[in-house]
Amino acid sequence: MNLPAVIFGRTGLSVTQLGMGGFPFGGVNEVQGWNPFTLEGRAQAVATIRHALQSGITYFDTAPGYGDGNSESIYGEALEGVTASYTLATKCPWANVGAAEVIASVEASLKRLRRETVDVVQFHGGMFTESDARHILEDGPLDGLDRLREQGKIRFLGFTCEEPFTALPLIASGAFDVVQLRYNLLNHQAAEHALPKASAANIGIAVMRPMTSGILPRILRDLAPEWLAARDPYDVCLRFVLSDPRVHTALVGARWPHEVDRNIQIAAGFASHFDLSQVPLRTAGIYQEDDRRWAG
């Protein structure tokens, strides 16, 4: 099955619209029988990553914060010696640190990832106040990444953000090639400001939590179990994100090869005839759109 690929904004990289998230390789979920800290669990995680690569996925995301380096170390093992072309992104801290700490963090990531250079390093964010943005841009963190880029240890700079409107000052700074935003069926605030601005700046756009981090199925299980029985909620989640042409890659946190296969099946078999970026998301806009259609 051929996965659709697109150009990742100004990085010029080609990335598949379905990418792989790295959080599960640093987190335990006993209920799901998942523990990447055991020998068996680690081997399973390595197999899932290799399966994704062999199945055509070309974008992989991780972070030193996922299991205190466990996710990066698993990627290091899984991708060692691979000659196929792919993009690897990791993250680094920014709060209460300067250039030296950022450099030390990325150097440690490179060791765990078993490589000399990594494609993308992102400031690992939740939400950013104005003073956070100033700190990143002016007090050393950005300088640290710039120095690493000059040394050829990283190729592109980015940041990740859970509260998309707080990404605006960093997008406007022009310093970043990549942004990773929270965007899904339950949280579509990114559509209002961050996605239009990032897209206009030709920034590579990755999406975190595209499957709502498993929240939507849990809500449906309690509120509308008949919907769950009728339709795979993850199918709808992925279609939602893939319907927005501003999104380059959706990073799904799959644990097992069969989940990777299922997500590939959804992504490869889906060509949206619906441009989500054109849908007015505010209530008034929706009413106006309905009126216009009705009048037409």
Ligand X SMILES: NC(=O)c1ccc[n+]([C@@H]2O[C@H](COP(=O)([O-])OP(=O)(O)OC[C@H]3O[C@@H](n4cnc5c(N)ncnc54)[C@H](OP(=O)(O)O)[C@@H]3O)[C@@H](O)[C@H]2O)c1
Residues that bind ligand X (CB under 6 A): 21-24, 32, 61, 124-125, 160, 162, 180, 208-214, 217, 234, 251-254, 259, 262-263
Which is nearer to ligand X, 27 or 98 (by Cβ)?
27
CB of 186 to ligand X, least distance (A): 10
CB of 219 to ligand X, least distance (A): 12
CB of 3 to ligand X, least distance (A): 14
Alpha-carbon gap, residue 162 to 127, rounded angstroms: 6
Alpha-carbon gap, residue 106 to 239, rounded angstroms: 34
CA angle 156, 161, 167 (to 5 degrees): 85
Which is nearer to ligand X, 42 or 124 (by Cβ)?
124
CB of 207 to ligand X, least distance (A): 8
Residues β-bridged to residue 95: none
CB of 25 to ligand X, least distance (A): 8
Torsion on CA atoms 58, 119, 159, 174, rounded to nearest 10 = -110
Which is nearer to ligand X, 101 or 162 (by Cβ)?
162
Q: Do strands 14-16 and 249-252 pair parallel, antiparallel, or not at all (unpaired)?
A: unpaired
CB of 12 to ligand X, least distance (A): 22
Alpha-carbon gap, residue 14 to 94, rounded angstroms: 28
Alpha-carbon gap, residue 245 to 263, rounded angstroms: 18
**DSSP letter, residue 12:** -
Pinpoint the alpha helices (H) of the chain. Answer: 39-54, 70-79, 99-113, 130-138, 141-150, 168-172, 194-200, 215-223, 225-230, 233-242, 257-268, 283-295
CA angle 179, 182, 184 (to 5 degrees): 130
Which is nearer to ligand X, 42 or 209 (by Cβ)?
209
Which is nearer to ligand X, 13 or 179 (by Cβ)?
179
CB 249 within 8 A of CB 19: yes
CB of 26 to ligand X, least distance (A): 9
Which is nearer to ligand X, 13 or 121 (by Cβ)?
121
Tokens for 116?
């000399």
CB of 182 to ligand X, least distance (A): 7
CB 144 within 8 A of CB 107: no
Alpha-carbon gap, residue 245 to 199, rounded angstroms: 10
Q: How many CB atoms lie within 10 A of CB 171?
A: 25
Which is nearer to ligand X, 246 or 282 (by Cβ)?
246
Q: What are phi and psi of 57, to 5 degrees?
A: -70, 135
Which is nearer to ligand X, 13 or 183 (by Cβ)?
183
